[in-house]
Amino acid sequence: MKKLILTVVLAALSACGGPADSGADAIRSPEERGRRAFGQCGACHTAREGDASRIGPNLFGVVGRHPGEVEDFAYSTAMRDADHVWDAVTLDAFLADPEGYVPKNRMALPGGVPDPQRRADLIAYLQTLTSDPN
């Protein structure tokens, strides 16, 4: 019986991250948490300088760039015509609600990224993707 209870408790802790993971997240920087969270984004986007775009555009250097500027990517008309610069504020609004921020874009992220901390971490990581040493 004790083995069964221990097994159930350990399974529950591993399924929800458990105390060890939350402590590790507290130690990690926002950029590191964002890099890890970007793993899911990496199914469609690359984030390395010089890499070809995938289903989504390469996000290296996205901060400070206008939408629709990656040459090897076929953007939607909505994204090409968007009139803003990607920064922490615009990225947060877009990641929270891609369809609401740029209607008729082709970003496949229904419901956006609802967690504000996860968005902040992703943005912190995206801000590191630059060849500018400053």
Specify if 85 maps to a domain.
yes
Specify if 82 maps to a domain.
yes
CATH code for position 97: 1.10.760.10
Domain that holds residue 91: 31-126
Specify if 134 maps to a domain.
no
Contact 131, 37 (CB under 8 A): no
Instruction: Specify the DSSP class assigned to residue 67.
Output: T
Domain count for the chain: 1
pLDDT tens string, the chain, 134 residues long: the values are 444 333 322 232 222 233 334 555 566 899 999 999 999 999 999 999 999 999 999 999 999 999 999 999 999 999 999 999 999 999 999 999 999 999 999 998 989 999 999 999 999 999 999 987 55
pTM for this structure? 0.78
Alpha-helical (H) ranges within the chain are 2-15, 18-27, 30-41, 77-81, 88-96, 98-101, 116-126
